[in-house]
Chain A
């Protein structure tokens, strides 16, 4: 479904305020965001994660980014071009406002106990927000607005500098942030590699980057960006295309050797990413290509998982005890059958109604599986346990790395099928139907048949993912098949880009991989998903890696 079809001439225009009022508003928004961040408990949780050892924690960076962003937005004038004094003054005012908001929160928490209402407003939060100053002292209250103003000015200056340097700084900062956040991954890689950097110079401390290496990374990242930009400007487009192909190949190699050079935990996370890619590609056919909003997608995942569980388990509920390789096709076929069965009645419903109908179907399946009525067959809330691991040439695939390769191989097959389908006649029919069903029908596309095919194929892919999931975990429980899974997959597609295959990969890495690796993040991942969905629709509705047709359309428009 395109994001720019105009249906009504009625359009809302924003009222313009005076520049100072807008700056104050931006500052207050940043302040409220910071207060919200603190009060949901994220500040205290993320304060434990050091990005730069003993210097900067993740939550301090988050707060600083809010102030800098406020300064950046306030520093720009209406045309988006910065001008001298405005940058400094407005940046400072915005940052100051944000800081004052947080100070007010600290003051309030110090004088009134809010804990009965807001569980996160704890003494720990006050201590963390005092930044080492004595709690309740004047210094603790004044330093936040002062820091805010300083960071706001930095944000303003950031808006004023030439875009070349802005990009370079962003790169350097991103390098530091990534290295600091994923310390464990990099450390495990460094441990597996031969000792290159010598024993007396460590890049990472016990919690995050060391100060020296952080500075080095910041400068290195910035220089890398500058050099690359210069390089890109000089060479011709053909060679640039070749170098982007080389980048893709490098990524592929990285994906292949990833579990070998890191530890089991990372391999497990990579497995989850591959699993969600499988599901993502399934929903991509339904939602991305055919435009069918399916919130009951998890039902097909459950069908696949329970099929394998029943066929491969050595527990009392098993109906057969066959190898995973026999059960896998059965699971895929059964899931596809379920898709067809569900699809037939539901597919006459359109748009928002379809979302609700599929959601209802998915919930019905979950409640049924959970109920005592079906417990003799499906185990109820006890689930099915003791599912055999798949074997290949007599070797049992048990380690996370082996299962990762299994999921990756399946994802590769499914990606190939999706890619061929997308460019086949039926793929074009789906796209046509997504854009306008009535017109597509007038052009001779059978809407029922093509929708049903999309739904069936999508369900089959989800069934394959469910089969791998059952083999991976070794047990299935109804609580693994909540609506949240469907929302996860939907979010992956939206973040990556609807209808885009590489987008599925990007979305799965961003939404599944990153929160798993950032343990402090785990509690807030769904909040993050929600914010990501909303922000994506506002900022970049076509996704991080948009489908090619979408980019072409946008270029033409």
Chain B
């Protein structure tokens, strides 16, 4: 890592940086400056263009918070697994897809039983539970196939296995469930909007946001307060030392994958409720976004995952209107993904430890 001057007032800091830096550092600095300039110019242009009203921006923000909370739930799986194994679960996005389909089938069964209309507030947790169960099961299978056999070696094998599993899941799901888009049946009561503090917000967004916060709070409590959470933190700190003090490392890893998968399952169900349709291929892009959120918040940091998810969601929701509009581009919303992926790349390059930085991030990466 380059030595960036710690404070501008330090005498000779700049000349010291000049002395120690290489041409690569100069190129990177130039990239930083040009990206910052692009964003600023776009921001200025977007603010002065006045295409959107304040109410538009408020609804964009609400939407950003909703999708952000879904990203945060996905990011938790990445962050927890990375914290313990120092590896990315490449198939995590597809775990979310499986959870979403599990929720779909549960919703279908509940709808046929008439329960969905009779007791909507009981049915929703049941559907969420189905999604959690589906995600957790799939996550455990992935752990068993792609990670456990390679636990004691450092190699590319888990990464390649996880990429393979991602494809197996996508195309097996395609064969099993078909390619057409599916929608959850029987959530008619979610069609409307409510007025909240003078703002009109669609119900699914509120439901998704609140459900995500409840699940996140539960998870934080689990990790901070329960013995399992303590064991997880110990294994994340040092696997060998944890094994020495009598922690069953294998069981902790399994539990981590299960919890991460359950979170992804919740994300899948909420995604289906907000966006009204799911496909077998949706997992990939959402998985990358979730990873971006995890990195953005600081990988290995649960609060960071929440923060990263919300920031990424807001950036994606507001970015096209605020920044890209400023360049007068046609159809700026097509480039929404460029903002998400661009943030991912920028963070990986310039601040791999994320917003709530973890000291060792660059060494562990």
Contacts and interface: CB of A to CB of B under 8 A. Distances in A.
B352 interface: yes
A530 B159 contact: no
Given A4-B155, A373-B335, A10 B239 contact: yes
Contacts of B160: 490, 494, 533, 536-537
Given A352-B87, A360-B342, A527 B168 contact: yes
Given A119-B178, A367-B337, A487-B163, A356 B344 contact: yes
Given A10-B243, A120-B175, A527-B172, A372 B164 contact: no
B121 interface: no
Contacts of B150: 537
Contact of B177 (A12, A117, A344, A537): A117
Nearest to A357: B348
13 contacts: A3-B157, A9-B240, A11-B151, A12-B151, A40-B172, A42-B175, A356-B295, A363-B288, A367-B338, A368-B335, A530-B171, A533-B161, A537-B164
Interface string A486-526: 01001100100010000000000000000000000001101
B151 A527 contact: no
B246 interface: no
A206 B247 CA distance: 64
A345 B331 contact: no
B349 interface: yes
A532 B348 CA distance: 30
Q: Is the interface of A mostly helix, strand, loop or mixed?
A: helix
B24 interface: yes
Query: What is the interface of chain B mostly: helix, strand, loop, or mixed?
Result: helix
A5 B153 contact: yes
A364 B292 CA distance: 14
Nearest to A376: B330
A248 interface: no
B330 A345 contact: no
Contacts of B165: 530, 534
A530 B344 contact: no
Most B CB within 10 A of own CB, among A8, A345, A348, A537: A537
Contacts of A541: 155, 157
Interface string A1-45: 111111111111000000000000000000000001001111000
Contact of B249 (A10, A345, A524, A527): A10
Interface string B293-314: 0010000000000000000000
**Most B C-beta atoms less than 10 A away, residue of A359, A363, A494, A529:** A363
A12 B152 contact: yes
Nearest to A358: B345
B20 interface: no
A8 B334 contact: no
A431 to B, nearest CB: 15
Contacts, number: 200
Interface of A: 1-12, 36, 39-42, 116-120, 293, 344-346, 348-353, 355-357, 359-361, 363-364, 367-368, 370-373, 375, 448, 483, 487, 490-491, 494, 498, 523-524, 526-527, 529-534, 536-538, 541
B221 interface: no
B335 A7 contact: no
B348 A356 contact: yes
B187 interface: no
Contacts of A523: 175
A183 B339 CA distance: 50
Contact of B153 (A6, A372, A483): A6
Given A10-B151, A352-B87, A357 B166 contact: no
Interface string B330-365: 111011011001101100110010000000000001
A494 B90 CA distance: 17
A429 B185 CA distance: 59
Given A344-B28, A530-B165, A36 B338 contact: no
